[in-house]
Amino acid sequence: MRFPKPIKKGDTIAIAAPSFGATTEPYASRLKEAIRRFKDRGYNVVIGECCFKSDGLGISTDPKAAAAELQNFYLDPKISAVFSCGGGELMCETISHLDFEKIKNAEPKWFLGYSDNTNFIFPLVTLCSVPALYGPNAPGFGKPWEQPENDTFRLLEGAGFTVEGYPMFQNPDVQSDDPLSAYIFTDKKKLVCYVPTEGKIKNKSETKSEAGLNRGFAVDFAGKTLKKLSAGENLKIEGTLLGGCLDCLVGLSGTRFDGVESFNREHKKVVWVLESCDYNPMDIRRALWHLKESGWFKNAAGFVFGRPLAAFKREVFGVNQYNAVTDVLGELGIPVVLDADFGHIDPAMPLVIGADAEVLVKDNDIKIKMNGISKSCNF
């Protein structure tokens, strides 16, 4: 992996809109405030025209124009990092017009975004061997900065390479009318972890309420089992981080932007970090089946799932956000961490996709040490 150089005061950050722009609230106000904060931190800011366009259907503008903006920013030697203006729905069409060979041969630089931006981050990592930061889109910095925003800039600036989870999160049903509102913490975070064990385990009896969500029983496929991590037990997973938004990854699978087969040849232990936006529990189950049968998880050392948005506390024909994962991946006999702090439910840890990492879990605490960054940057 070819790691980008850390950014520093005086460098230029470009903001592109390869998916949605920021023409509606709360994104317009947040973007304006974020730009002010970037400048106050000492950075120059260049804003792409597509950020202020809304003439496209399901995207800011014509995908060709969005692709040209993103590629021009990425190839411009005067720009040190590119931040995405937003997520969205159709960035898959944007990447059809990118020249990944040119991008691969260019000086690597940080790209920051999440959600629909998986469509650029994933091939950047798997095809170009350039890590990217799965973290807040540019308007996300318009709110008061807390741990996720500070963590993101620590990574970008090379000041630290470890992120930790947060004790509380914001229920997705709770929103503020103030576009610049701080996080509204409503719920205590509770990690749900499964680890492999020897032999077969019978399902534990559960109450009716327990059966609906957060099932604690072991999953048994072909003699391989998982058991729920007990209180006080430690879990460590090591490997190269790979993943993003599951909704996008399924679309990339099998296309010329896939790159997983070659990535697996180079990286023998992969920690899959996955989250979902629009998928219900049944969609998640089908998506994981698809990627598993496509050979993506051949070198999987473990899985870390962020809290899902649409599937959060939902059930479809008995399938929920937990067994949608464990029933499909249980046969692999490797650790699974669920409801981690990243994705579409705030707050979210920024993750460097493509970095070698240690994932450490104990009770409700999760820490991710991204070791590959320090090695490549000679810190």
Is residue 221 domain-shared with residue 366, that is, in the same domain?
yes
47, part of any domain: yes
Contact 18, 83 (CB under 8 A): no
Is residue 239 domain-shared with residue 286, that is, in the same domain?
yes
Is residue 239 domain-shared with residue 128, that is, in the same domain?
no
| pTM for the predicted model, two decimal places | 0.91
* Domains: count for the chain: 2
Is residue 122 domain-shared with residue 81, that is, in the same domain?
yes
6, part of any domain: no
Q: Which domain CATH number covers 275? A: 3.50.30.60
Q: Which two tokens stand for residue 350?
A: 């920024």
Contact 240, 372 (CB under 8 A): yes
178, part of any domain: no
181, part of any domain: no
111, part of any domain: yes
Is residue 334 domain-shared with residue 288, that is, in the same domain?
yes
Is residue 128 domain-shared with residue 199, that is, in the same domain?
no
Residue range(s) defining the domain that contains residue 59: 12-160
Domain endpoint, select from 97, 125, 160 = 160
Is residue 65 domain-shared with residue 208, that is, in the same domain?
no
Is residue 290 domain-shared with residue 205, that is, in the same domain?
yes
Is residue 372 domain-shared with residue 294, that is, in the same domain?
yes
Q: Which domain CATH number covers 72? A: 3.40.50.10740
173, part of any domain: no
Is residue 241 domain-shared with residue 337, that is, in the same domain?
yes
Is residue 202 domain-shared with residue 328, that is, in the same domain?
yes
* Per-residue pLDDT reduced to its tens digit, 162-204: 999 999 999 999 999 999 999 999 999 999 999 987 643 333 3
Is residue 138 domain-shared with residue 198, that is, in the same domain?
no
80, part of any domain: yes
144, part of any domain: yes
pLDDT in tens, the chain (379 residues): 999 999 999 999 999 999 999 999 999 999 999 999 999 999 999 999 999 999 998 899 999 999 999 999 999 999 999 999 999 999 999 999 999 999 999 999 999 999 999 999 999 999 999 999 999 999 999 999 999 999 999 999 999 899 999 999 999 999 999 999 999 999 999 999 999 876 433 333 333 334 344 444 343 334 456 788 888 889 999 999 999 999 999 999 999 999 999 999 999 999 999 999 999 999 999 999 999 999 999 999 999 999 999 999 999 999 999 999 999 998 898 999 999 999 999 999 999 999 999 999 999 999 999 985 544 443 3
